[in-house]
Amino acid sequence: MSLLAVGTVAFDTIETPFGRAERILGGSATYITLAARFFADTVRLNAVVGSDFPEAHVDLLRARGIDLNGLVRDGDGETFFWAGRYHYDLNQRDTLATHLNVLATFEPDLPASYRDSRIVCLGNLDPTVQMQVLDQVDAPELVVLDTMNYWIENTPDALRTVLERVDVLIINDAEARELSGEPNLVRAARLIRDMGPDTLVIKKGEHGALLFAGETVFSAPAYPLEDIHDPTGAGDTFLGGFAGHLARTGTTDPEAMKEAVVMGSALASFVVEAFGPEQLLHLPAEALEQRVRAFYQLSAIPEGLALLSE
């Protein structure tokens, strides 16, 4: 199945307790497509960059088979820029700068060749822009959306409108609590699914992810890592791996969704090991396979666990 990702292609400046990287390649659409291309044959990117965006970055994406017909260059401005600083608890991050630049006037106009996309990944963006993209896709089989606290707080109505057309929402635990106004995640999940998305994934950082699909509740661990250098893009990578797996298998039932959560988690566990999307650019498929196998070990409950009644 073809997969379309809309989001940001960005310059990121990142500080973590373990180092700093200045104006490196980043953005939600970058991470989503670099992750999805491990699984899906047709991965399409829709985003805007400015006059300062180097052709070498474009080549990096093109060389990984990503369809860039929808990567628009706006010569009148600069590329979206984001700067963030992580605390010792890497789940805590402060945004130091968000310069929308060319994103401020971006109105998505999908190439005709993108309109038959089967899976649409709406990366973190203004929900009005996410909706504009959705309006231009003919009849997507699955719509997956990511958002963040900024949109939950500042554009709640637009977010609610787009959520009505979303099949899978992927957010973190703090966002789930904020969106639903409910501290208990199981109750929050019910309230959020009533807003539109049949399926909900709640990411819990180093504590894994919870999937609510149909009657199914599934919990996947995060891979325990000794060296985490930069969590930037882990959420987007998860989304790209999740949606990419569904595109590859061509199924969207709850069992496929469970597998997709494991694929997303496995891929995200690599991206945090280095700054920026470095790991995603160079990861051999065998290494990913090996890590997926490790997930089986990680949470396998021993067969024949003696129950109290036995």
> Does position 50 bind ligand AMP by CB under 6 A?
no
Backbone region of residue 40 per phi and psi (left: phi > 0; alpha: psi in -120 to 50; beta: other values): beta
Contact present, 220 and 262 (Cβ < 8 Å): yes
Instruction: Decide if residue 26 touches ligand AMP (CB under 6 A).
Output: yes
Shortest CB 205 distance to ligand AMP, Å:
11
Please identify, among the stretches 21-29, 133-141, 214-222, 278-286, the one whose residues bind ligand AMP according to the rule CB under 6 A: 21-29
Residue 15 CB neighbours (<10 A): 17
Strands 10-16 and 67-74: unpaired
Please choose, out of 6-14, 58-66, 128-136, 188-196, the segment that lies near ligand AMP by the rule CB under 6 A.
6-14
Closest to ligand AMP by CB, 42 or 101: 101
* 98 sits near ligand AMP (criterion: CB under 6 A): yes
Structure token digits, residue 165: 């057309």
Q: Out of 12, 67, 167, 175, point to the residue binding ligand AMP (CB under 6 A).
A: 12
If the CB atoms of residues 1 and 82 are measured against ligand AMP, the closer one turns out to be: 82
User: Residue written as tokens 């369809």?
Assistant: 67
How far is the C-alpha of 97 from the C-alpha of 144, rounded, in Å?
Answer: 27
Listed residue (238, 221, 231, 234) closest to 88, CA to CA: 231
Q: Which is nearer to ligand AMP, 105 or 290 (by Cβ)?
A: 105
Residue 233 is a binding residue for ligand AMP (CB under 6 A): yes
Is residue 27 at the binding interface for ligand AMP, with CB under 6 A as the rule?
A: yes
Residue 121 binds ligand AMP (CB under 6 A) = no
8 counts as binding ligand AMP under rule CB under 6 A: yes
Query: From the CB of 253, what's the least distance to ligand AMP, in Å?
Result: 26
Torsion angles phi and psi, residue 158, rounded to 5: -65, -40
Round to whole Å and give the CA distance between 242 and 22: 29
Asked if 227 and 206 touch (Cβ cutoff 8 Å), the reply is: no
243 interacts with ligand AMP by CB under 6 A: no
Dist CA 152 CA 96 (whole Å): 19
- Is residue 155 a contact point for ligand AMP (CB under 6 A)? no
